[in-house]
Amino acid sequence: MTGLGERLDRLVGKKSADALAAAYALGTAGDLLRHYPRRYAERGQLTDIAGLEVGEHVTVMAKVVSVNKRQMKTKRGTLVEVSLTDGKRTLDCAFFNQPWHMEKLKPGISALFAGKVTAFRQKLQLANPDYQLLDGDVDGDGDGDGDGAAGPGAVEEFAGGLIPVYPASAKIQSWQIAQCVQQTLAVLDEIEDPFPDALRDKLGLPPYEQAVRSIHRPAEWADLELARTRLKWDEALSVQLALAQRRQAAGARPAPACPPIAGGLHDEFDKRLPFTLTAGQVEVGSAIAQDLSGAHPMNRLLQGEVGSGKTIVALRAMLQVVDSGRQAAMLAPTEVLAAQHARSLRELLGDLGQGGELGAADNATRVTLLTGSLTAPQRKQAMLDAASGAAGIIVGTHALIQDKVSFAALGLVVVDEQHRFGVEQRDALRGRAGENQSPHVLVMTATPIPRTVAMTVYGDLETSSLRELPAGRSPISTTVVPVSEKPSWLDRVWQRVREEVAGGHQAYIVCPRIGDEEDGPGGNDDGRRPPLAVVEVAEMLAGGPLSGLRVGILHGRMAADDKDAVMRGFAAAEIDVLVATTVVEVGVNVPNATAMVIMDADRFGVSQLHQLRGRVGRGSAPGVCLLVTEMIGGTSTRDRLDAVAATLDGFELARMDLELRREGDILGASQSGAKSGLKMLSLIRDEQVIADARVVAQALIADDPELGAYPGLAGMVRQVVAADRAEYLEKA
């Protein structure tokens, strides 16, 4: 019997199996068959060149416009230049010292071309691509010589239908993957269906085997759509079953009930607020207060725009818990942010947060900071404050969840920037409320989340949103600075920074890399230069365009005291320009900072760029954000940057970010770098499937929490939401 667990080397040969393993970690027949085509090509329909991305490996169907051979000036040998078209734009191919391509690539011929996209003289280019002609001839590397390439006529087998185009790499091309899939499907015995017959019939879905065969070898579009629907359901139901199990497990242990106490810290704090809470803050605060009042553990996600006032909402919740005789822990992703949170909470509370100090209010609590780099005496005191109950609010990094840290009576855990933490870290804090108890959990993110992502990535949490910005927030203008096309604009960037400083304000300059000896060259395997680094950029600016200004640096590898000193200096306007990594991405609040320059902006994601620019315009003066990039126009990367510049609506950007993502990159990579198990499901197009799967999953888990009566579904969950990929549910 040959099943989905069969090793690929027994099915497609060692060389192809090794290439599939190296490129995509595919080791079994099941792994290969879940490597779905990215898209499908029909004869006569050429690939849209405008959507190509510099640095990615692509497979395109294009038509040869012209072929030219010339002697290279700087190197010995010949260069064959081929111009391709999709009917609207052109794409250049360059073959170095391979003149025989002149005989194969004639004007008017269509072919599949595969290679890495580069930019040369402001035009997209493929250097030494592999290709396969669509008239039955072979590609340009001499097929049939045992190199693992597809044999003559491989594409001809798709002549009556659609040509699948697979995610491919330099190690193995799309047409080679297609041949491996064909060989595998030919020898597989019956493929077991994980869905019970009754469920499949109720949903009107085709059998799993039919869907798998049709997705790889569709005869027509109707077959393909039916197969896609079934495979989307497999993925959607797998995730929703896993989340339903997590929701049930989270509620298995009761939480300490913390109802509001009249006249306590919460009420006193509200009386002293120098501003009026927004309607959203009041509404969300009421929902949280109700959750905290019961013994069922709160598991709530609070999402809100940068500057929407999430910290105030969290503090009011923490005070309600403290009023009930419990403690609240606030977990931040970095020491810089943890220290800033502790400082902000103390400032907001005033004498209400000075418990044990001279001049404290009668019912004051204490705010304690606990991070990994405190001195031994500081750490000992902070741990004593937490264990004794002297501190009602404990702020820290992952150091809070170490076994040695104990709490007197933990009632609430607030996790800031939820996507930075994994399942294990959050669960470790959940276990700190005492034996047989679970604390309430409030997780926060400044990355707005579309509804389908909330149902899928954060499906074990109730979701609240703050969309309204408090009064007084200033507008932020954003401009893309395309330095490869307009080099002089970079000079204007530094002039703009000087103007802001001359006006009494300050500026951030953000770089993707730190840039010391231990940092390495940094991800330039796509042929691009290494990303710009804080250390080098700061030195260049201080001695050049920004000479005379006070330039500081901040990055995650600095000692905690040094980082804190820099942030205090910047907050006190003792530093004019702060050159930093994304350590300033969240939580850092310096109202006098009005300008941000993001170098190599194309190396950051849409949501990250939106969060970064949220650090400016936090005072009375308007903010300016300049996105510096060498990426040429017409690429999807530039489209993303233009989208960020066009709107300040984070929710719109979050949806746009999803729309710009490639097929098969739905939830991105987990922290380990492995792709998530979701390959077919679209969080933009498949909202109804996700919602329906959620209902089905809830019913199944309510009836059978361990899926003991449904071994096929249980196995499907393990496959799609594998243990080593589980973090994508928290990190995507």
Tell me the per-residue pLDDT of 103-139, one tens digit each, with 9 for 90 and over.
889 998 888 888 888 887 778 888 888 888 875 444 4
Q: What is the tens place of the pLDDT at every residue in 667-700?
A: 333 222 234 457 888 877 888 999 899 999 999 9
Q: Which residue has the higher pLDDT, 434 or 567?
A: 567
Token representation of residue 152: 């003559």
User: Across 417-461, where does the E strand assignment appear?
Assistant: 440-445
476-647 to CATH, choices 3.30.1240.10, 2.60.40.10, 3.40.50.300, 3.50.50.60: 3.40.50.300
pLDDT category of residue 729 using cuts at 50, 70 and 90: very low
Token representation of residue 652: 């719109």
CATH topology for 39-165 is OB fold (Dihydrolipoamide Acetyltransferase, E2P) (2.40.50)
pLDDT category of residue 151 using cuts at 50, 70 and 90: very low
Q: What is the tens place of the pLDDT at every residue in 6-18?
A: 999 999 999 999 9
Q: Which residue has the higher pLDDT, 417 or 190?
A: 190
Q: What is the tens place of the pLDDT at every residue in 319-335?
A: 999 999 999 999 988 88
Q: Which residue has the higher pLDDT, 675 or 438?
A: 438
- Orientation of helix 310-323 relative to helix 265-272, angle to 10°: 150
The pLDDT score that the predictor gives to residue 491 is: 95
The pLDDT score that the predictor gives to residue 663 is: 34
What is the DSSP secondary structure assignment for residue 45, as one 8-state letter?
A: -
The pLDDT score that the predictor gives to residue 666 is: 36
Q: What is the tens place of the pLDDT at every residue in 89-101?
A: 888 998 988 888 8
Please report, to the nearest 10 degrees, the dihedral formed by the alpha carbons of residues 639, 640, 645, 646 taken in order: 70
Q: Say if residue 460's pLDDT is above 80.
A: no
Domain boundaries, the chain: 39-165, 265-466, 476-647
The pLDDT score that the predictor gives to residue 150 is: 39
What is the spatial distance between Cα 522 and Cα 669, in angstroms, rounded to a whole number?
A: 18
The pLDDT score that the predictor gives to residue 148 is: 35
**By the 8 A CB rule, do 267 and 727 touch?**
no
The pLDDT score that the predictor gives to residue 713 is: 94
Q: What is the tens place of the pLDDT at every residue in 707-718?
A: 999 999 998 888
Average pLDDT, the chain: 83
User: How are beta strands 110-120 and 57-71 bridged, if at all?
Assistant: antiparallel
CATH topology for 265-466 is Rossmann fold (3.40.50)
pLDDT category of residue 723 using cuts at 50, 70 and 90: very low
Across 58-67, 304-313, 593-602, least confident range: 304-313
pLDDT category of residue 701 using cuts at 50, 70 and 90: very high
What is the CB neighbour count within 10 angstroms for residue 213? Answer: 18
The pLDDT score that the predictor gives to residue 695 is: 94
Closest CA to 446 of 557, 318, 584: 584
pLDDT category of residue 586 using cuts at 50, 70 and 90: low
The pLDDT score that the predictor gives to residue 130 is: 87
What is the spatial distance between Cα 181 and Cα 159, in angstroms, rounded to a whole number?
A: 17
Residue with tokens 């076994």: 403
What is the spatial distance between Cα 608 and Cα 414, in angstroms, rounded to a whole number?
A: 21
Closest CA to 312 of 266, 354, 355, 351: 266
Q: Say if residue 77's pLDDT is above 70.
A: yes
The pLDDT score that the predictor gives to residue 626 is: 97
User: Across 427-475, where does the E strand assignment appear?
Assistant: 440-445, 462-466
What is the spatial distance between Cα 166 and Cα 216, in angstroms, rounded to a whole number?
A: 10
Q: Say if residue 732's pLDDT is above 90.
A: no
The pLDDT score that the predictor gives to residue 294 is: 93
pLDDT category of residue 457 using cuts at 50, 70 and 90: low
Same fold, 265-466 and 476-647: yes
- Orientation of helix 650-660 relative to helix 606-613, angle to 10°: 160
* Mean of pLDDT values over 243-254: 81
pLDDT category of residue 159 using cuts at 50, 70 and 90: very low
**Which residues make beta-bridge pairs with 552?**
578
Q: Is the overall model pTM greater than 0.75, yes or no?
A: no
What is the spatial distance between Cα 331 and Cα 250, in angstroms, rounded to a whole number?
A: 19
Q: Which residue has the higher pLDDT, 620 or 147?
A: 620
The pLDDT score that the predictor gives to residue 191 is: 87
* Mean of pLDDT values over 632-656: 83
The pLDDT score that the predictor gives to residue 75 is: 67
pLDDT category of residue 664 using cuts at 50, 70 and 90: very low
What is the spatial distance between Cα 658 and Cα 673, in angstroms, rounded to a whole number?
A: 19
